[in-house]
Amino acid sequence: MATGKITKRAVEAIPLPDEKKRAYLWDDTLKGFGVMVTDKGTRSYLIQYRMDGRASQTERVTIGRHGSPWTAETARGRAAELLEQVRCHVNPYEAGKALLAEQRRVRAERVQEDAKLAKLAFSVIAADYVTASKKTLRRWEEQERIIERDLAPSFGETPLPSITADDINDCVAKAGKRASSAALKAYSALRSIFAHAHEKHRGLFPQSASPFGDVTRPPGG
């Protein structure tokens, strides 16, 4: 078993092993820290350890391939952290599996949340509202114009749960600079769009999620 100081030069100087074989260099100062070389030339840093002394099974955890970000120095630092876990009776392999599982869970939740928000994007809900209004409102074309002129520029692809009362007040006030009646129409259209979202996506967007309790209704009407 080859031992020596693991440095960049030492790692890159390890000769390639025979086909389907592995070559190792184990550090002579940090016990359990090593580098493995495959017959294809891949050089990877790793640690080797036993959780319960000589009677227990030898385990290994790969730190990463030689290169960026894993240099001999950075890998040595990570190896020291992992070997400290062993000293504290924490198995780095099991801890790594748990961390990976948690990362996968978080990613899955993020994907699920992104899918939910995509369904609740203002542009999506507003378009669906206009489609539904064609069957129930004689003045649906006016609603469509209000959305295109006063609402869509402010909210675009923003998910409805991310739209705050302040956002709505600002949008309505901006429409009101053109005419007081425009402010009321913008307010009414927005309220109808939110109500449509509540009706169609009760599970994703309950009535309690509406910010309209803190929205100032413009005068008129």
Q: What is the pLDDT along the chain (221 residues), one digit of tens a residue?
A: 799 999 999 999 999 999 999 999 999 999 999 999 999 999 999 999 999 877 779 999 999 999 989 999 999 999 999 999 999 999 999 998 998 899 999 999 988 888 888 899 999 999 999 998 888 877 888 889 999 999 999 999 999 999 999 999 999 999 998 888 899 999 999 999 999 999 888 888 888 888 888 888 888 65
* Dist CA 146 CA 112 (whole Å): 32
The sign of the CA dihedral 13, 17, 76, 62 is positive
Say whether the peptide bond before residue 69 is cis (omega within 30 degrees of 0).
yes
Return d(Cα 210, Cα 205) in angstroms, integer: 8
pTM: 0.57
